[in-house]
Structure 1
């Protein structure tokens, strides 16, 4: 009798992020690194904040014939690497890594601008803009530098200072690192805006909590789970098909996926790791040396 090789279950977003944190949910090591820029991160956060769908995830249950080497989600703590994953994420890495880094990790996010400039960002929700129906929700999601101070005029003028909680309260800027645990921040906010004359501000936050923050806590993500008995050929085909959206896979990544099913770490062989240079680095060094020797030889021939 035929049976389905997969099942689909909606899972709470917070539980998926916790699984990333502790290493229960990891990536197959052949997956590319996290590549999303801050604009895509903001768009994703905006969708979650409105309970809009952001697409299903696809994961492979571990413990079967396909024994890919796992790799923790980027930014997860060191102990996640020592954990035995229950599932490997085949589709959804960019979304889950973005959400994990912005909301649960509680550290500055290392990302890039749309022009591919490396930046370090903390992300906030502008409470007033988020509650304004005439403002696009993406405009309410802002990123600030690592010191939480946004400057203009080539760094001479301060446009926004969120370097202290009191500044966040005063300017109604909510940190995305606390979207799943807002009570401590709300306590500080209520204290900052204490008194009958500030009932309006306290009420604004209550509305924001109900209309925006609770969407994060109640958000559920459809997860398609491939059975652990799924063949490695099928896994590779699925991986290729589901990764056609977003940033397209190149030939190297597809070949890497196929070789990974045989236990060969093609990415590590080519790029190396923290301890060893890969073939790519050795190749570059060899070519650089050859070019240098060619220049020296040419210089000697042209010396008068």
Structure 2
């Protein structure tokens, strides 16, 4: 009986030990994948709200950019949603319950990849146009904790990193960029994605991807989704050399490269589009992206 009692008493200790080891392992893994350890050459953020703003931090060149959107300007929402006023995007996202719309829409509008986006817990329709008042978006201590703070796609450790990154930033730390490449059509103000992309081409390159110099061919089903993806990739510094229609298409999108050791560019493409890796011969480019139905619909 005494031996049995000792064994029973040891069970909670063993459980606590395994639980502690699991928590330590999970934290170590999360930390190794966070911005504290892995930072891109350039980090792009969207703060959506009454005065929506775009921030871009250059870790390789120490050049940061900041711009403010006009709530009355209309941007295209990939996924077949059409154009919406920026000030109304938040309410639309609340109705659709698809926060990823922020990332796709502003990535398309700015011709780059938006790494992280933040938005209020409760959205309303913002009608006030952009003002000349300057401010730098911040994350408050409460925003670090997702359930009580501002919503977004950044995890706890990345929020903590961004909190400290933004904490001491001042006006002189940023170069202001104009978010006014618009076209007036009767009562509508259209944000011109192509004009913005051409005007600021090269500003938001990922240095390592640009220097690697890999070329990309896109095999697509929807030409519009292929064009949006092309603008985003070229805005990141990746050269898209060919667009080819592919009615067959794979069951899951593929990033094809003729090497078992993936390049930085191939890894980046797999990461942002959630594609599978495939080793096969390529002819027209260094890398091929085969777009499946799901990816095509997301960016159409």
What TM-score do the two structures reach when normalised by structure 2? Answer: 0.23
Please say which structure displays the higher CA radius of gyration. 1
Higher relative contact order (CA 8 A, sep 6+): 1
Could you say which structure has the higher helix fraction? 1
What TM-score do the two structures reach when normalised by structure 1? Answer: 0.23
